[in-house]
């Protein structure tokens, strides 16, 4: 059904209200906290060494991890299975995006359900 054919009450608001923005921020904070607590100590230590956040959109929950150096980047890649297992608890459609340091490569993105295909590479 085309969006324009929906009654106005059924359409998404053109602009989010302050309350909508607050609830979205609180949802992301709660998801981030729950995800972090679901991780093993090793993965928690890796996350603390990186900048990371969860994004939510209509397609998938995405964990974005920005690594400060290539050593940490490799350790994150080596722990993809553990990271994916923790993230998969929230949704099987989740994605992980691992960003190496600037000018040191391109981000590596994969779905949680694809991790088993890469298991022997890391």
Q: What is the pLDDT of residue 1?
A: 45
DSSP type of residue 13: P
The SS3 assignment for 66 reads: strand
Cβ atoms of 95 and 63 within 8 Å: the answer is yes
Cβ atoms of 28 and 54 within 8 Å: the answer is yes
Could you read off the pLDDT of 90-113 as tens digits, one per residue? 888 899 999 999 888 899 999 998
The SS3 assignment for 110 reads: strand
Share of the chain above pLDDT 90, in %: 52
Could you read off the pLDDT of 61-86 as tens digits, one per residue? 999 999 999 999 999 999 999 999 99
Cβ atoms of 36 and 52 within 8 Å: the answer is no
Confidence band (pLDDT; 50, 70, 90) for 14? Answer: low
Share of the chain above pLDDT 70, in %: 86
User: Model-level pTM?
Assistant: 0.79
Confidence band (pLDDT; 50, 70, 90) for 59? Answer: confident
Taking the C-alpha atoms of residue 19 and residue 58, their distance in angstroms, rounded to an integer, is 20
Q: What angle do CA 33, 16, 3 make, to 5 degrees?
A: 110
Residue 27 has pLDDT above 80, yes or no: yes
Question: What's the average model confidence in pLDDT over 5-25?
Answer: 73
């Amino acid at each position: 059904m085309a969006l324009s054919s929906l009654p106005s009450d059924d359409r998404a608001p053109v602009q989010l209200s302050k309350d909508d923005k607050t609830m979205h921020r609180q949802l992301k904070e709660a998801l981030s906290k729950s995800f972090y607590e679901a991780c093993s100590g090793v993965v928690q230590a890796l996350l603390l060494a990186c900048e990371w956040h969860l994004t939510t959109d209509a397609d998938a929950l995405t964990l974005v991890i920005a690594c400060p150096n290539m050593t940490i980047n490799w350790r994150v890649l080596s722990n993809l299975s553990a990271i994916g297992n923790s993230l998969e608890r929230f949704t099987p459609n989740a994605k992980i995006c691992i960003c190496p340091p600037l000018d040191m490569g391109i981000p590596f993105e994969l779905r949680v359900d694809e991790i088993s295909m890469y298991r022997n590479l890391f």
